[in-house]
Amino acid sequence: MKTSVLLKRFVPYYGKYKGIMVMDLFCAALTTVCELVLPLILRYITDVGMRDLASLTVKTVVTIGMLYFALRIIDGMASFYMAYIGHVMGASIETDMRQDAFRHLQKLSDNYFNNTKIGQIMSRITSDLFDVTEFAHHCPEEFFIALLKGVVSFLILARVNVLLTVIIFLLIPVMAISCTYFNLQVRKAFKKQRNHIGELNARIEDSLLGNKVVRAFANENVEIQKFDKDNQEFLRIKRHTYKYMAAFQNTIRIFDGLMYVVVIVAGGIFMIKGLIAPADLVAYTMYVTTLLTTIRRIIEFAEQFQRGMTGIERFAELMEAEIDIFDEEGAVSLENVKGEITFKNVAFEYPDDHTPVLSGINLTIKPGEKVALVGPSGGGKTTLCSLIPRFYDPTEGEILLDGQNIKNVTLQSLRSNIGVVQQDVYLFSGSVYENIAYGKADATREEVIQAAKMAGAHEFIMELKDGYDTYVGERGVKLSGGQKQRISIARVMVRSPKLVILDEATASLDNESEHLVAESLDKLAAGRTTITIAHRLTTIHGADRILVLSGNHIVEEGNHETLMEKQGIYYQLYTSSSIQ
């Protein structure tokens, strides 16, 4: 992205901190004035001393010294404000950007997360924004100081000797042009670094989350080799970065030396010819030193600038990820939900590969009805259920809840009336209580305990070391599969939704756990519209209706007895020894 485009996106973040920014720039001006006064003081003392030393009294020198010391106190106070409040402003902007990025992530659909590595996402909202603090604070400050010093230095130097000043300042654009190439290469190198940090994060996350599989297959060395390869690639990228940084800084040093050569040679010749006084040449040299110091600061800041721009660019790329599931204009909140679901000629294909998953789905599920979905793997069962809470939107057709198109209701009210129990249970790092209460933000402790009892989880929870306050570990690793599943059911029960989706909720459990969870699921389904994706067909005998999905369509429909009599696909699935 062009720097101008990135700055246009970034500058509005200063809006909340306009007062701090103005004060910061005022303090920057004060420090600049204090720095520019010293050469004038030395020029005055040198000039008076060379012309009439007797007129230069101790009182005059002390007075000048005290005035300069007062300026240094002001300089110290201004510098403190810049270093403290200015940096806090930068950190606040970084915080605001990270908050916006996280909010944006919450609005993105499953399709984005299916195609983006979590490590890359984490890198974009954490490490990529670390350098924004320094960038946000120093960028306006450094350029303002450079502009102020440049203009004031030019005016003062021009009064001393116009020709010498023009020669000095003509070297600056030549230096800028010479450094542009290396500066752009540094920017590209930083972008590669950021991308590869995301890949490293993804590699580490993948290996650590799959550590049991790694150890089970004794593949520790394989993981170490893969990580070492990525780590060495990161070193190669950094080596490339440092090469251009060194070339960039060396170019500056060459021009730095060239400017001093001009001052020494041209200034010496001008002094010999009487075109510049000795005192003026001393002041001139000090101002050139001040100017070069400023240029060096800008050059040193160039690295921080490029780091900051790279972070902003990665942030901008994340913020430009399209939100494809959102509240339509005029969306209303669902009220008095009964739980009737209607599919009208619904078709769906994933946007990234455009492979048809569902086609011509027409279906009505009555309030309180228990419907089971079965069929070959990849038949679209999970996708069909994912359309109801709008994890995806259908490519064609519409879905109605109680006769109302779900696109015309708010996502919050739609999803708060739907409970989903999945095969792969995700528990958050925290206590048992916190994981159950996650289903209802304002749930009381009594409601949480009642939900646990209904889910058949209360007994085993009370046997845990700290009861409901027991820490479950990351992703619930301290609990068994059946325990995690019952906690997830309690999490849904505390919400008391009108529609429940059970996505192969018992597929990965042993027989004993399956029996316990099945009882909990029966309690959860009571009085609610329930859609069950079945892996073990023996668990859906009691379903009011069974739908068989195959070839993107509903090919069979009926209860267990009816479908068995037909001896079609359901009969083959049920009688297959692999399924039983």
Model pLDDT for residues 9-32, shown as the tens digit of each residue: 999 999 999 999 999 999 999 988
- pLDDT surpassing 80 at residue 318: yes
**Cβ density class 120-141: b for 16+ within 10 Å, e for less:** bbbbbbeebbebbbbbbbbbbb
**What confidence score (pLDDT) does residue 437 get?**
93
Domain(s) labelled CATH 3.40.50.300 in the chain stretch across 339-417+502-580, 427-496
- Report how far residue 403's alpha carbon sits from residue 411's, in angstroms, rounded to the nearest whole number: 16
Q: Which residues contact 481 (CB under 8 A, 6 or more apart)?
A: 425, 508, 509, 510, 513
Query: Which residue has better confidence, 508 or 200?
Result: 200
E strand or H helix at 344, and its extent? strand 341-349
Q: pLDDT tens digits for 170-198? A: 887 877 777 777 777 777 888 888 788 88
- Report how far residue 296's alpha carbon sits from residue 54's, in angstroms, rounded to the nearest whole number: 40
- pLDDT surpassing 70 at residue 374: yes
- pLDDT surpassing 80 at residue 70: yes
Q: Tell me which CATH code domain 3-319 carries.
A: 1.20.1560.10
**What confidence score (pLDDT) does residue 507 get?**
63
**What confidence score (pLDDT) does residue 579 get?**
43
What residues are paired with 343 via a beta bridge? 363, 399
Task: Tell me the average pLDDT across 256-267.
Answer: 83
Query: Which residue has better confidence, 394 or 522?
Result: 394
Task: Tell me the average pLDDT across 243-269.
Answer: 82
Question: In the structure, what pLDDT confidence band is assigned to residue 509 with cuts at 50, 70 and 90?
Answer: low
Question: In the structure, what pLDDT confidence band is assigned to residue 135 with cuts at 50, 70 and 90?
Answer: confident
- pLDDT surpassing 90 at residue 467: yes
* Contact indicator for 570, 373 with CB cutoff of 8 Å: no
Question: In the structure, what pLDDT confidence band is assigned to residue 511 with cuts at 50, 70 and 90?
Answer: low
pTM value is 0.77
Task: Tell me the average pLDDT across 112-133.
Answer: 84
- pLDDT surpassing 50 at residue 577: no
- Report how far residue 169's alpha carbon sits from residue 263's, in angstroms, rounded to the nearest whole number: 12
Q: Tell me which CATH code domain 339-417+502-580 carries.
A: 3.40.50.300
Question: In the structure, what pLDDT confidence band is assigned to residue 262 with cuts at 50, 70 and 90?
Answer: confident
Task: Tell me the average pLDDT across 123-128.
Answer: 84
What residues are paired with 349 via a beta bridge? 356
What residues are paired with 553 via a beta bridge? 550
**What confidence score (pLDDT) does residue 98 get?**
92
Task: Tell me the average pLDDT across 494-501.
Answer: 91
E strand or H helix at 382, and its extent? helix 381-387
Q: pLDDT tens digits for 542-560? A: 889 999 998 889 999 999 8
DSSP, res 93 = H
DSSP, res 536 = S
- The fold of 427-496 is Rossmann fold (3.40.50)
Classified as helix, coil or strand, 136 is helix
Domain(s) labelled CATH 1.20.1560.10 in the chain stretch across 3-319
* Contact indicator for 286, 39 with CB cutoff of 8 Å: yes
- pLDDT surpassing 80 at residue 122: yes
Lowest mean pLDDT among 216-220, 247-251, 564-568: 216-220
- pLDDT surpassing 60 at residue 110: yes
Question: In the structure, what pLDDT confidence band is assigned to residue 449 with cuts at 50, 70 and 90?
Answer: very high
